[in-house]
Amino acid sequence: ARDIGRGRLAEQQTVQTWIADSRTGIDAARLLVLDAAQKVERAGGREARAAISSIKFYVADVMLSTLDRALQVHGGLGVTDDTILAWLYRHERAARIYDGPDEVHRGVVARETLKRYADPEPA
């Protein structure tokens, strides 16, 4: 662990908060992926549409937030090509665009959720 003059960087409360937030986000993302995989296996892709769309924006958000925190902890070194962090951030930020904007995926989740609570058509 890096010493920053006031102790080790890993002992700083802000850094520990970032680590906890990143770990929790990663664990939640893994559970979303597992849930979607089970839905696909049981009912097929159409029934898992909302779960898949959730993954597309949530996992990307967790990944970029985690990378952003890692860049912050590494300081100026984090944005150079001396570490993999800058490349990962550039690559993953661009990859987030490939499958459509987050707003589209959020819209799918919202529509699929609202369908479950819609009033049935009057007879």
pTM of the model: 0.82
The range of the structural domain enclosing residue 56 comes to 9-116
pLDDT above 80: residue 4: no
Residue 4 covered by a domain: no
Residue 1 covered by a domain: no
Averaged pLDDT of the chain = 91
Task: Quick: pLDDT tens for 10-43.
Answer: 899 999 999 999 999 999 999 999 999 999 999 9
Question: DSSP secondary structure string, 45-95?
Answer: TTTTHHHHHHHHHHHHHHHHHHHHHHHHHHGGGGGSTTSSHHHHHHHHHHH
The enclosing domain of 47 has a CATH number of 1.20.140.10
pLDDT band at residue 6 using 50, 70 and 90 as cut-offs: confident
The Cα–Cα gap between 5 and 99 comes to 44
Residue 122 covered by a domain: no
Task: Quick: pLDDT tens for 56-108.
Answer: 999 999 999 999 999 999 988 888 888 999 999 989 888 888 888 999 999 99
Q: How many domains does the chain have?
A: 1
